[in-house]
Structure 1
Amino acid sequence: EYDLVRDSIEGPQLSLDLATHNADLRYEHAAAHLRAWTLVGTLGASVGQQHNDFEAASTLVPDYDQWSWSLYDIERFVHERLEFEIGGRYDGLHRKANLEERDWLGQQAGGRLDAESCTADGAGGNGGGRCIIDFNTASATLGMLARPFRRFNPLRGASLRLQLDSSARTPAIDEQFMNGAAPSFPLLGVGDSRLGVERSWGGELAARYEGDWLQVEANAYGSFIDNYIYFVPEQQEGQCAPLTCTTRGPMPVFVFEAIDALLGGGELRFDLRAPRLPFGLSGNAAWVRGRDLAAADHLALLPADRYALTGRYFLPDTRVSARAYLELGGTVVARQTRYQVDLDFAPPPPAYVLLGAGAGVELLTGDQILRLSLSGTNLLNMRYRDYNSLLRYFADEPGWGLQLRVAVDFDVSLGREA
């Protein structure tokens, strides 16, 4: 990555050498028939290795190596009207991070150094240290899918799904060891090597209907998260308050910390195709709520309520084209009103509305299908800022834009899907 620097400085300001290797094994056992039920399942294993080297004037994350592995089993009991699913997974991770002197002293001064996993061995002879950390986690899931109206034709496509799970996530390298900024990362991020496994206990309830001309899906979810890894603003004192003074100028500081949290929300989607008419209408809505249990307040930086609606006109097929369409849509994003007033560096930005449009077609060219699509975003060139963008402290989001996509399918017959 490059930044604006003096003419005498040459080369990139941040250089990354990333090597990743993965191997996966998957086995689907033969179906077992148990009277009215059928048992199907999948067993699997995976292993991965990463070696990452970073070179920069100031470190963003340290050089590190890590190995990861996992074992899992998912079994499904299938009936005409009912399905049960049970699954389990076990993950392991071994991480070794080599900290330069600056990063070692920064974690040490901030009280974020894991004394049990980190040793000041002078890695590379630079007065730094090395952190060797192991994680082992287990996850489990239990689900049910019901189709109560399977034999009642008007509601044949209706289903209800319930899922309960306990999942674990190990902290990423930046969450543990970030200490700096990058040209594309306009803030000072600070990690914590003491962060442990993030464990969630939750559930989801979803209802779905699939008919000939209408598809609707609604779901609600909620979970308690133990040691939720939280990337949160931290206001500073001093000359540049509430920012911190750096050689690159005042910058906001964000830190990774672990808290107990509640998360919940809901989504609604529909897709309507008018019978015997070349018109379609689709829409979606999403809501997210979160609670910081320690502060007894809202979680910061959660997405605001979002609503979208798109109308589509289908053009008739010809001898050389199919699935041609024109569409027009809009997205409404509300202002986030659920936030901690004294925590952030700036209040949430105002609500905004974005207008988009698009067109697409499939063309038959010999034995291939050529898919073309053109989409336009923010066609009214609205000035707006996204609450979840770290750039909102400095700049607006992009104005209007056009995207042209071209894809080729080989040896595929042309025609509408059933």
Structure 2
Amino acid sequence: MLSAKSAPVVRATLPAVGAAIGEITELFYAKLFEAHPELLRDLFNRGNQAAGTQRQALAGSIAAFATHLLEHPDTRPDAMLRRIAHKHASLGVAPAQYEVVHRHLFAAIVEVLGEAVTPEVAAAWDEVYWLMANALIAVEERLYAEQGCLPGGSWSEWEVVGRTEETADVVSFLLRPVGEDARPLPYRAGQYVSVQVELADGARQIRQYSLVGATDATVRQISVKRERAGATTPAGEVSGHLHDHVRVGDTLRVSAPFGDLVLGGPELGGPELGGPGQGDDLAGRPIVLASAGIGITPMLSLLHELHNRGHRPPVLVVHGDRSPADHALRAEQTALTGKLPQGRTLYFYERDAEPADRSGLVDLEGAPIPAGAVAYLCGPLPFMRAVRAQLLAGGVAAADIHYEVFGPDLWLGHR
């Protein structure tokens, strides 16, 4: 909660800070990487930095947090904080790094806003920053503790024991921890791991990949889509490296599992955070699993989990892709859905749709959305925005729609 002294100052200056937040975050990252080039080389996603999406996500999170403090002074934006904390933990962010961020962020604020940053304004926004930072530090420390890690994370070597070309753009890797006594860390269906690879220029870049399959497997599977260059985005450095250079017998550096797209949706800081499943409350609830493209990966783990639990209420599995040939892991998705007592698939393809499928983008208008359903989404942002709106129109409660974003979360305002 903001102090009584700071709240009116933040309220009065939020429009000015919000209007300049893009410029502030751009300058912040320039200052940060000039002082600490190793962070850009070995921690931050260089592709997201080049595209500007990381700056947008940081700006959005600061604005959303400050707005929440003003509009809901007795609560925290737990969903947003939880999602950020899981991503930070997967990267190995340590508490001391928040002081580094604070130093360069406030230097950028002062440089952009100039004389408007009076001591009173600086103190108020300092309070906003540390309320957010300390909340994240506390959650991240609990996440590390749940995984038996020290703050800053835990990395281990994993051997590639299998490689499968799923489609022209998707490759699956089977991974096993190195060492006779090594054991895979337990994870909850829907979670992801970070994978760090050394690139040709010596950078050790990190990306997150959902764990695919049943949580009791002795090996772990990730499925990686090659990220091709777009009009405003560079080709994926890590996905390209994994596709082109990683073969059976190679090793990868892998983090402990994190992520909050899990059955039951854990509350921030609750005893179930990172621990046993919280899905008992879902035993009587219908489920909607909606994905597009490589967003299928966490949905497959959720499907495995529903099957293992003997879930009997309706489960509607929705997936959209460019074509059936581009639909990675379709056979497994279809088979798992068919094993559920009331499982149903609904596939959409932009081209070459088969007779049992639908043509075009995912459109749930008129679809058999079960009453009282809990929904889980993963895919490109335009897909998730559209599907969320359709689910709301179909009677699904906003609190019952959960999602995972691959990359910077530019969708913070929806939670």
Normalised by the size of structure 2, how large is the TM-score?
0.27
Determine which structure has the larger helix proportion and give its number: 2
Q: Which protein has the larger Cα radius of gyration, Structure 1 or Structure 2?
A: 1
TM-score, L = length of structure 1: 0.27
Q: Looking at secondary structure, tell me which structure has more strand per residue.
A: 1
